[in-house]
Amino acid sequence: MFIDIHVHTRRHKGFPRLADQQTYASPQELVAAYDRIGIERGVILPGASPECCTQPQSNEEVLEIAANHPGRFIPFCNIDPRALSNSPYAPLERMLCYYRDLGCKGIGEVTANLRIIDPLVQNLFRGAEIAGIPLTFHLSPYVGYAYGLVDEAGLPGLEESLKRFPKLKFFGHSQAFWAEMGARPTLSERMNYPKGPVQEGRVPQLMRQYPNLYGDLSAHSGANALIRDRDYAVRFLTEFQDRLFFGTDICQPTMPTLRTLADFLLDLRQQSDLAEEVFQKIARENAIRVLGL
């Protein structure tokens, strides 16, 4: 029923995540969770940057997990923008083309805590555009706040990037990104989960203006962006039905919000608030089309 655009897993679980002291879900635990929820397969995003993981995960591990569980996992590769030479002239496109040819369908989740307009980050975008694969990014409110690319309120750096790399498909994700569903989010809202009715903000405006911006609805940030205003969610999902993806962002074996988005979308369909065609696109068909599955 669903294809998960955003998930994390480690072959040997890995050192506990510092934020919650839980290990990553193993592939076997993830498959079991998928079977309970009705997820047919998921996109594995390896952790590459030290800001969000205690040990970087190799692209080779992700490719091996996908090969060992045929039909259940879709590999992405990941490269830190500082890789090779910590230079805006590093030939990152060579690495991206190499992993693309091995079967990786995209790059991400990009989590380096650098400004999105930093030349190192822009060079990574350039490489991804050359390789012809989409890029999933985690957005952060400021440098020094955990992990994620940094942009100001109103997303001026993202807009500039969308202009500079029109052939690169950007998959937006995280609290700081989805808080911009509404107008003029506060710093607290960009760090957390805004509540209440939506007055249209920069995310829908940018999606309307730039066809290379897509929405990764995973985690509580994506689900909250919809659930906070059901009526607006229906309009948003319908208008951008070709550029939105279901996702979970499962990290540890137990996730209290695991079913939140799935249940919300299923309820919209059950109540006939969301057309069946729109539901199917967001649940799975967009991932099949955009990733060439």
What are the pLDDT digits (tens) for 193-206?
999 999 999 999 99
Radius of gyration of the chain (CA): 18
Q: Is the dihedral of CA 274, 32, 260, 282 positive or negative?
A: negative
Q: Say how far residue 256 (Cα) sits from the centre of its chain.
A: 19
What are the pLDDT digits (tens) for 170-224?
999 999 999 999 999 999 999 999 999 999 999 999 999 999 999 999 999 999 9
List the beta bridge partners of residue 150: 115, 140
**Contact assessment for residue 120 and residue 161, using Cβ atoms and an 8 Å cutoff:** no
List the beta bridge partners of residue 172: 137, 215
Please check the confidence at residue 25 and state whether its pLDDT lies above 90. Answer: no
- C-alpha dist (Å) from residue 229 to 56, 194, 195: 37, 11, 8
Among 59-68, 112-121, 128-137, 257-266, the minimum mean pLDDT is found in 257-266
Rounded distance between C-alpha atoms, residue 231 and residue 257, angstroms: 21
pLDDT at 256 (0 to 100): 57
pLDDT at 191 (0 to 100): 94
Portion of the chain with pLDDT greater than 70, in percent: 94
pLDDT at 55 (0 to 100): 77
pLDDT at 13 (0 to 100): 59
Alpha helices in the chain (DSSP H): 27-37, 59-68, 92-102, 119-131, 156-164, 175-178, 187-191, 202-209, 219-227, 230-239, 260-270, 276-280, 286-291
**Contact assessment for residue 116 and residue 150, using Cβ atoms and an 8 Å cutoff:** yes
Rounded mean pLDDT of 12-28?
A: 67
Residue 37: name the closest of 279, 269, 281, 262 by CA: 262
pLDDT at 14 (0 to 100): 56
pLDDT at 245 (0 to 100): 98
Confidence of residue 23 (pLDDT cuts 50, 70, 90): confident
- Specify the residue for token string 């309820």: 267
Please check the confidence at residue 37 and state whether its pLDDT lies above 60. Answer: yes
**Contact assessment for residue 279 and residue 217, using Cβ atoms and an 8 Å cutoff:** no
Q: What is the largest CA-CA distance in the chain?
A: 54
What pTM value is reported for the model?
0.95
Q: How many C-beta atoms lie closer than 10 Å to residue 274's C-beta?
A: 21
What are the pLDDT digits (tens) for 229-261?
999 999 999 999 999 999 999 877 666 556 889
In three-state secondary structure terms, 272 is: coil
Confidence of residue 138 (pLDDT cuts 50, 70, 90): very high
Q: Is the dihedral of CA 254, 260, 263, 265 positive or negative?
A: negative
pLDDT at 52 (0 to 100): 78
